[in-house]
Amino acid sequence: MTNKETLGSAPIVIGDDVRYSPDDLLLPKQYHKYIENIIIPNGILMDRVEKMAYDIRKAYKNREVHCLCLLKGSRSFFSALFQHLAKLSLYDEEATCPPFFEHYLRVSSCVGTESTNQLKVVSDDLSCLRGKDVLIVEDIIDTGLTLTELQKYLQQFEPKSVRIATLTLKRTERSNGQSADFVGFSLPDKWVIGFSFDCNQMFRDMPHVCTLSDNGRKLLGLKG
């Protein structure tokens, strides 16, 4: 499932020169020393997630959909998406099943900051996915290695279909070509933090998506 056309609207492209100062919007004071710029304010994030929920509902119509939330990164995105999908179902008088079923997976393909192709999956029994439409909910596609391996892993459960919704897709030469069916934003090849994105388990409580500064990388002991 690489280099595919999206089922939803085309992603919003965040240009390489798009930036808001950390002083322009409200951010936790303790994080200012790590931040280069804000690139997606929270208001734009929330509006875009609502549009993605609409596109997903439109694509699946009145079908049973099993959503896989990839912990921990996708939690904020999944939660916002859940709220909008549930809201949309309130106004669908033809609905005969819940807007979606939730499943949570802990997927790991990296140690520290280095990606590997060794996939580890921790989850409940996924045999219930047999013959079902499955939607993987991810926060970011960077190299694409994790999602490529996860799709292979899921085939043992014989789902009817497997699609992907990602909040962001990074424009990077490291990509293996993996894309998604529903994409929120196209990001420059920079280290992003905030909302869904962490670094060493920090920054997920920030409301906006920001880029990590050179000073922030030094403070966190990151190389490269």
181 backbone dihedrals φ, ψ, rounded to 5° = -80, -30
Q: What is the dihedral of CA 21, 140, 70, 89, to 10 degrees?
A: 80
Strands (E), the chain: 12-13, 35-40, 65-71, 101-111, 114-123, 133-141, 161-170, 182-187, 192-193, 209-212
Number of domains the chain is built from: 1
Considering the domain boundaries, does residue 196 fall inside one?
no
What are the tokens at 31?
Answer: 């994080």
Is the pLDDT confidence value at 211 over 90? Answer: yes
Considering the domain boundaries, does residue 33 fall inside one?
no
Residue 91's alpha-carbon distances to 88, 98, 99, 177, 198, in angstroms, are 6, 13, 11, 37, 35
120-134 pLDDT tens trace: 888 889 999 999 999
67 vs 119, residue with greater confidence: 67
d(CA 172, CA 186): 10
- pLDDT for 5 equals 62
What are the tokens at 38?
Answer: 């804000």
47 vs 89, residue with greater confidence: 47
- pLDDT for 107 equals 86
Is the pLDDT confidence value at 12 over 50? Answer: yes
147-203 pLDDT tens trace: 999 999 999 999 999 999 999 999 999 999 999 999 999 999 999 999 989 888 899
Is the pLDDT confidence value at 113 over 50? Answer: no
Position 4 confidence tier, pLDDT thresholds 50, 70, 90: low
Q: Report the percent of the chain where pLDDT is more than 70.
A: 93
- pLDDT for 3 equals 52
Considering the domain boundaries, does residue 124 fall inside one?
yes
d(CA 224, CA 166): 26
**Mean pLDDT rounded to a whole number for the chain:** 90
- pLDDT for 59 equals 95
Considering the domain boundaries, does residue 150 fall inside one?
yes
Query: Is residue 24 among the annotated active site residues?
Result: no
Considering the domain boundaries, does residue 146 fall inside one?
yes
- pLDDT for 108 equals 78
Best CA proximity match to 64, nearest among 134, 6, 155, 158: 134
Position 140 confidence tier, pLDDT thresholds 50, 70, 90: very high
Considering the domain boundaries, does residue 36 fall inside one?
no
- What range defines the domain where residue 69 resides? 12-17+43-185
31-75 pLDDT tens trace: 999 999 999 999 999 999 999 999 999 999 889 999 999 988 888
CATH classification at residue 169: 3.40.50.2020
Considering the domain boundaries, does residue 30 fall inside one?
no
d(CA 158, CA 142): 26
Active-site residue among 125, 142, 181, 205?
A: 142
- pLDDT for 95 equals 79
Considering the domain boundaries, does residue 214 fall inside one?
no
Is the pLDDT confidence value at 114 over 90? Answer: no
d(CA 23, CA 26): 7
3-state secondary structure 153-179: HHHHHCCCEEEEEEEEEECCCCCCCEC
Q: What is the DSSP string of 53-74?
A: HHHHHHHH-S--EEEEEEETTT
Position 1 confidence tier, pLDDT thresholds 50, 70, 90: very low
196-210 pLDDT tens trace: 898 888 998 999 999
Once rounded to an integer, what is the mean pLDDT over residues 135-141? 96
User: Are 173 and 144 within 8 A, CB to CB?
Assistant: no
